[in-house]
Amino acid sequence: MPGDLPMPTAMFTADELAVIRRAYAHQVVATAATTNPRIEAAFATVSREKFLGAPPWQIANLGGGYRPLPSSDLVLAYQDVLFALQPDKGVNNGSPSLHARLLAELDIRIGDRIAHIGAGTGYYSAILSELVGTSGHVYAVEMDPDLAAHAQAALADRANISVVNADGSQWPQQEVDAIYVNFAVARPAAPWIERLRPGGRLVLPLGVPRQDRPPKGGRHASHGAALRIERGEGGFPARWIGTAYFVCANGGLAIDDSEIEALTAAFRRGGIEFVKSLLWKTEPRIGRCWHIGDQWALCYDDA
């Protein structure tokens, strides 16, 4: 844990915690409906408490807001719930089962080079580092300097991760095998499309920000969907994974009101589950697209 922060307490032995972590991982992948044993092993290996900050920890309520946990016992980290990282900004260590489902869609292989955009304090970067192995590499990109500093400290023992304090819309800066985005965006950033290697995969939450911003907490998506996009031989096959709501992007991916209105209208019409391709800097066929943005579109035709 970075700095001189108070440490969580431990009411279980290291061996007992290892068993608890294995049980947590088994539950997470079952809830995610994935049978990938490598993802389960990664969740069983990584110590989540290193990435949650100082106790007392707060978890998200279903109806909004947060509540503190009554204890700082390490075992409480191993629940399929959202822990607050920056409650004033609505930034959380997100749902493990949702991330397990999205990570399964990345088809991560040993030796892959992956950009993790919106890495937060690095918990899911650590999961990715387990999945790519010692021959792979993870670029954990986080714009907030405090979160990036926490990630740097928590991931210092992992030689296959580089923590980058930067605007995620500018990364990756080299070709990669996969890109994993952990905030809601209303359009993909150019590097996420153009720096995918052939066969590379991108998983991102598409979403539009709520019009009402709560006095406390960040601006979350009012409509949201996770998408998988691949760089194919002749285009970009795309498909809907499921509903996903993340805190919305800042920095270089903030969009104007007209773009928000157009994407909101597309969500309200429905049909994103039938999307089959992403068009990038290509003239779309009117009437064949779910949404047409500025130099990109999501369409019903195969790539």
- pLDDT tens by residue, 52-93: 998 889 999 877 789 999 888 999 999 999 999 999 888 999
Distance CA 205, CA 183 (A): 6
The pLDDT of residue 3 is 47
The pLDDT of residue 176 is 98
pLDDT one-digit tens code per residue, 129-173: 999 999 999 999 999 999 999 999 999 999 999 999 999 999 999
Query: For the whole model, what pTM was predicted?
Result: 0.93
Per-residue pLDDT of the chain (303 residues; tens, 9 = 90+): 444 555 677 788 889 999 999 999 999 999 999 989 999 999 999 999 999 998 889 999 877 789 999 888 999 999 999 999 999 888 999 999 999 999 999 999 999 999 999 999 999 999 999 999 999 999 999 999 999 999 999 999 999 999 999 999 999 999 999 999 999 999 999 999 999 999 999 999 998 876 655 545 556 656 889 999 999 998 999 999 999 888 887 766 766 777 888 999 999 999 999 999 999 999 988 889 999 998 999 999 986
